[in-house]
Structure formats: structure tokens, C-alpha cells
A and B are shown apart, each in its own frame.
Chain A
Amino acid sequence: GAVVSQHPSWVICKSGTSVKIECRSLDFQATTMFWYRQFPKQSLMLMATSNEGSKATYEQGVEKDKFLINHASLTLSTLTVTSAHPEDSSFYICSARGSDRGNTIYFGEGSWLTVV
């Protein structure tokens, strides 16, 4: 089974509302988590690096005020899409690297977001 869990798997929200996606490491402590976005039939695009207890580091071109990332504990990072619009509809995937897992990165199951 997956060692990183995402919730929800599917979410539909109305345009203008905010939606939160959770990423949990189930059997290890994740000091660093990563958030990716994937459009259909395309590759994964790194949005931001989430570090426990500090501010996230966003990739160039990613709006940090729109995609709020919080990594308040060693097992949980959240991505909040604020004031969502239809163009934010996508597949969002998190991944985690634990301090006791070397350089292997484990991925969550992903979350489909549809903004209507």
C-alpha cells in the first residue's frame, strides 16, 4: 500500500471557493514534501517544496497566494487552492521524502480537482 496518502481523491468545487487537499505520510516522518500538478497526458510539474515548520518554496510562475501550502507537522502538508477557477482544474499529486528513507521519494495517490 501507499506510504503517502492524499485526501480527497476527487473534489468538485464552485468557482470562487477554496479547497484544501491533504497529504499525509503514514509510516514515516516527512521533513520535506512536494506538490505537483499534472494536466492530462502531460508530465508532472513541480509547484512547490513544503518544509516542516517553515514557509514553502514555490517554483517560478506559481502563485503563492493562490496555492497556499502549510506543513505544520512531520506527517501532514496541505495545499489550499484559493478562489478557485476552472483553469485550476487539474490532478494534484504530493510526494514525500523522509529523513529515514534516503533519497527515495514516495507519492500520494493524487487528487482530482474540478472547478465548475
Chain B
Amino acid sequence: AQTVTQSQPEMSVQEAETVTLSCTYDTSESDYYLFWYKQPPSRQMILVIRQEAYKQQNATENRFSVNFQKAAKSFSLKISDSQLGDAAMYFCARMEYGNKLVFGAGTILRVKS
């Protein structure tokens, strides 16, 4: 099975600091989509950022940016100027054929004030 791996079960960051969440994936496709979702305690899945594999430019959404290394199959999320509201579970996901999302195990992000 093609997988998505998040090797950091838990991360902590000081408020206003920067943190990077890691994600690697496996795929035999050349074109695909990658996503980072945030799941706060409410359990609502919130799209943070997405990357289209054919685009070399790294996606950016305000304080969130990715480092997409296609050859290495790596897709890390950088959160700048961390805020208390960023505390949540973060899931990396890859879209498979048929628009199915395959999720990593998740990383719990704690933000310290």
C-alpha cells in the first residue's frame, strides 16, 4: 500500500516561533496532490494548504508554507509566528486516483505561551 508517513507524533513550539512538521509519502504517480489538514479539538478538518505535484513552486498561505521536495517525496509544513490557535492535530495527506485521501498518522502540535 502506498503510504504517508509523519514521523513526529508530537511537536511543541513557543508562541511567535517557527515550527516545521515533517511528512514523507510513497507514490508511483507523477502527478498528484498533497495536503495539510488541521484538526482542532472540535474535530473539524480544516484545509491548511495544498500542493500540486507538477508545480515546482512551494505553496504558501499566510503563515503556512510547505517545502515540497518531489524527488525525495517529502512535503513538510512550516508554521511561522505560531499562535495559540495553531494548536491542533495536523495531518499530511496525499490524493490518490479517484480523489481518495490517504492520511498520515498525524502530529499533535502544542503551542506554549
Main secondary structure of the interface of A (DSSP, over half): strand
- Evaluate whether A93 and B100 lie within 8 angstroms (CB atoms) in the complex, with A43-B105, A44-B91, A103-B95 already known: no
Interface residues of B in 26-82 (CB under 8 A from A): 33, 35, 37, 42-45, 47, 50
Which chain A residue lies CB-closest to B104? A43
B106 and A93 contacting across the interface, CB-CB below 8 Å: no
Q: How large is the interface on B (under 10, 10 to 19, 20 to 34, 35 or more residues)?
A: 20 to 34
Interface-facing stretch out of A19-27, A73-81, A105-113: A105-113
Rounded to whole Å, the gap between the CB of A36 and the closest CB of chain B is 8
Q: Indicate if A71 sits at the interface (CB-CB under 8 A).
A: no
* Residues of chain A with a CB closer than 8 A to B45's CB: 44, 93, 95, 107, 110
Per-position 1/0 for B6-33, Cβ under 8 A of A: 0000000000000000000000000001
Q: Indicate if A67 sits at the interface (CB-CB under 8 A).
A: no
Q: Indicate if B99 sits at the interface (CB-CB under 8 A).
A: yes
Q: Indicate if A28 sits at the interface (CB-CB under 8 A).
A: no
* Residues of chain A with a CB closer than 8 A to B47's CB: 104-106
Binding site for A on B (CB under 8 A): 33, 35, 37, 42-45, 47, 50, 91, 95, 98-106
Binding site for B on A (CB under 8 A): 2, 32, 34, 38, 42-44, 46, 49, 57, 91, 93, 95, 97, 103-107, 109-110
